[in-house]
Amino acid sequence: MFAASAKASTALVAPSSSSSSRASTTMKSSSSFPKKNRSSSLVSSALPIADLADGSAVTTAVVGVAAIGAAGAALVLTDPSKRRASMMETTGGDEAASVRDYFDKVGFERWQKIYGETDEVNKVQLDIRQGHQKTVDKILDWLPENMDGMTVCDAGAGTGSLAIPLAHRGAGVSASDISASMIGEAETRYNQSIAAGAKAPAVAPKFEALGLEECTGEYDVVSCIDVMIHYPDDRVAAMVGHLASLSKKKLIVSFAPKTLAYSILKRIGELFPGPSKATRAYLHDEGEVEEALEKAGFRVTRRQMTATSFYFSRILECERV
């Protein structure tokens, strides 16, 4: 089985780029959004996006999609598979092992900075950091301030950006990540927060180096944030099914939505990979993700979109039917 990856942001352009950051844009939509062709309704340009919410629907004002499409047609046809195949040679073609090795080694230094507070980040990395934090903040707004007695499984927890504040709210948190380096950093940050005076929960959180499919147990809430970007389409249903099997009540997932503009932006980023951005990145059709959730016994109750210049993440809150 393909294992859960470390929590790399839904960043579609190489984070080593020095391009300037643009204004962050957040898009909200209700759970009554028509299911068919939902993802195509989310098409938006990579430069820039204007989202106008009227309360019951979202109208996306797209700037320059035609121009991006014309200029990027050749880029979409360019296949970076040779670079990816070379990346996986050291793991015998095991993509999950390749992701783990990346986040345990060359990728760890970069992503711990992006998910940290250091000023040693460029404008693109700062944009990704801010976008990811917006996603985390939205999820925190969906959950109770007092989570005493509640249990949470945060799969693909990365450096603990969601797991740690949930533990501070009193939840019994089981945080895991395929990368020992990333989850080790999460445990370090949690311990530092307690030493600095943050509230400790009645049950200390667990931090474990586990692939998503290795997660076991039963929890009130299961979260998997910015991990699906490492899963190809043919493995998403199994991934969602396993996450659903762990949740008694609520499941929260996020992913990079598949649109024309985002596909072009992703391909542009792949053409300038740099040594610290070498893993595959998959975009996903929202309708197909929701279909997998429904088959697993969950319905979407809330959805939001976080979109900055270089970070795009659709967030779904789901409850067991």
213 located within any domain: yes
pLDDT tens per residue across span 237-289 = 999 999 999 999 999 999 999 988 878 877 776 666 555 454 578 999 999 99
Q: Is the dihedral of CA 110, 206, 130, 9 positive or negative?
A: positive
Q: In this model, does residue 195 exceed pLDDT 60?
A: yes
288 located within any domain: yes
Cα 302 from Cα 266, distance rounded (Å): 26
52 or 32, which is more confident: 32
CB atoms within 10 A of CB 39: 20
Instruction: Tell me the pLDDT band of 37, cut-offs 50, 70 and 90.
Output: very low
Q: Give the DSSP letter string of 35-90.
A: STTTTGGG---SS-EEEEE-SS-EEEEESSHHHHHHHHHHHHH--THHHHHHHHGG
12 located within any domain: no
Domain count within the chain: 1
pTM above 0.85, yes or no: no
48 located within any domain: yes
10 located within any domain: no
Instruction: Tell me the pLDDT band of 110, cut-offs 50, 70 and 90.
Output: confident
**SS3 state of residue 128:** helix
69 located within any domain: yes
How far the first Cα of the chain sits from its last, in Å, is 27
Q: Kindly report which listed range (7-11, 65-69, 116-120, 306-310) carries the lowest average pLDDT score.
A: 65-69
Distance of CA 202 to CAs 170, 220, 232, Å? Answer: 7, 16, 38
Boundaries of domain holding 63: 25-320
State the chain's mean pLDDT as an integer: 78
Question: Would you give the DSSP letter of residue 145?
Answer: S
Q: In this model, does residue 311 exceed pLDDT 80?
A: yes
17 located within any domain: no
**CATH number of the domain within which 245 lies:** 3.40.50.150
pLDDT tens per residue across span 294-305 = 999 999 999 999
The torsion angles phi and psi of 174, rounded to 5 degrees, stand at -110, 105
pLDDT tens per residue across span 43-69 = 232 223 223 222 333 323 333 444 444
Q: Crossing angle, helix 286-295 and helix 233-246, to 10 degrees?
A: 40
**SS3 state of residue 4:** coil
Q: Give the DSSP letter string of 258-276.
A: --HHHHHHHHHHHTS--TT
19 located within any domain: no
pLDDT attached to residue 8 = 54
